[in-house]
Amino acid sequence: MNHFMPIKFINYRVTSMKVFIKSSSTVQSKFDLGNEMKSFNDKKQFKKALDLFDKHTKNNIEMHSSLVITQALKACTHIKDVQRGSDIHRLISSRTQHDFHILASLLHFYS
């Protein structure tokens, strides 16, 4: 019975690594999305930034990083899409109290 313990431990470690790798790749992809959107915004390709945002949102805006949200709001600000920015604000309203980056982007958007 004692010889089965190392196998259980190895299985646990492999499972833990799979979860870690999956979560790391999700974080990395969110970071990449934000940086790609920022790149579009820096090149004044605001519609492309929003198209990319739409492609990755699929009604799950709460999963996006602050960087992604701020880049979407920045694009809305520059193309003066008040409705779109307001919709994003409405969808993330629960996050605005605790995220100063998003708050700053919202202030800039509405000003």
Q: What is the pTM of this model?
A: 0.69
Please provide the DSSP assignment of 74-100 as one string.
HHHHHHT-HHHHHHHHHHTTTTTTT-H
Please list the alpha-helical segments (H only) found in the chain.
5-42, 46-57, 66-79, 82-91, 100-110
Distance CA 24, CA 46 (A): 28
Cα–Cα distance between 41 and 70 in angstroms, integer?
Answer: 11
- Please say if the pLDDT value at position 29 is more than 90: no
Ranges of each domain in the chain: 2-110
**What residues contact 72, with CB distance under 8 A and at least 6 apart?**
37, 49, 50, 53, 88
Reported as a single tens digit per residue, the pLDDT across 49-66 is 999 999 988 757 777 889
The alpha carbon of 103 is separated from its chain's Cα centroid by a whole number of angstroms, namely: 16
Residue-wise pLDDT for 71-105, tens only, equals 999 999 999 999 999 999 998 888 777 889 999 99
The predicted-structure confidence for 2-22, as pLDDT tens digits, reads as follows 555 556 555 555 555 554 444
Contacts of 55 (CB under 8 A, 6+ apart): none
